[in-house]
């Protein structure tokens, strides 16, 4: 029997694996909030130009976040693909964060322009977290 050689680029450290699971838990928690206790808060982030009912957007995005978070935890063999999808999700929701700032919508304790503006800088951190947790973009050995 021939052993398959592991691609060094797909290996991640224990810290990266912990970060991936933590990201998954965060997404499951946020997705649950979309469906339950934080539904109204998430509606404040849906830009007015989205051509769907605000509540529908929040509910559907919550289901996506729960599924993606669960997959990040349960399917470590797919970590590179899943963390790329998570990074893409964080990029895709950025216009919602911009809308919350632009339209001065209070939600999640972001009740001043300064707080809403500061939150915009957290989105690139989430993108970087996702990519690092999946070992994406690192140097090849």
135 contacts 80 by C-beta, under 8 angstroms: yes
What is the predicted pLDDT for the residue at 140?
47
Residue 83 lies in a domain: yes
Across the range 18-46, mean pLDDT stands at: 96
Q: What is the pLDDT of residue 137?
A: 77
Q: Mean pLDDT score of the chain, rounded to an integer?
A: 91
3 lies in a domain?
no
Mean pLDDT across the stretch 39-60?
95
How many domains would you assign to the chain? Answer: 1
Per the structure, the complete domain to which residue 57 belongs is given by 13-133
Question: Is the residue at 76 inside a domain?
Answer: yes
Judged on CB neighbours under 10 Å (0-12, 13-18, 19+), 40 is: exposed
- pLDDT > 90 fraction of the chain, expressed in percent and rounded: 87
- The 10s digit of each residue's pLDDT in 75-108 is 999 999 999 999 999 999 999 999 999 999 999 9
CA distance 117 to 104: 10
pLDDT at position 10, please? 57
In a domain, 141, yes or no: no
């Amino acid at each position: 029997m021939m052993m398959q050689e592991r691609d060094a680029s797909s290996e991640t450290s224990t810290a990266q694996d912990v970060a991936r699971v933590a990201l998954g838990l965060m997404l499951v928690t946020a997705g649950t909030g979309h469906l339950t206790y934080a539904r109204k808060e998430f509606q404040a982030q849906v830009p007015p130009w989205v051509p769907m009912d605000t509540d529908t957007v929040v509910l559907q995005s919550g289901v996506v976040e729960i599924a993606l978070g669960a997959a990040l935890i349960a399917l470590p063999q797919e970590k590179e693909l899943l963390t790329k999808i998570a990074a893409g999700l964080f990029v895709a929701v950025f216009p919602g964060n911009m809308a919350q700032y632009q339209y001065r919508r209070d939600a999640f304790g972001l009740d001043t322009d300064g707080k809403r503006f500061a939150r915009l800088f957290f989105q690139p951190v989430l993108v970087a977290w996702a990519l690092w947790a999946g070992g994406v973009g690192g140097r090849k050995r």
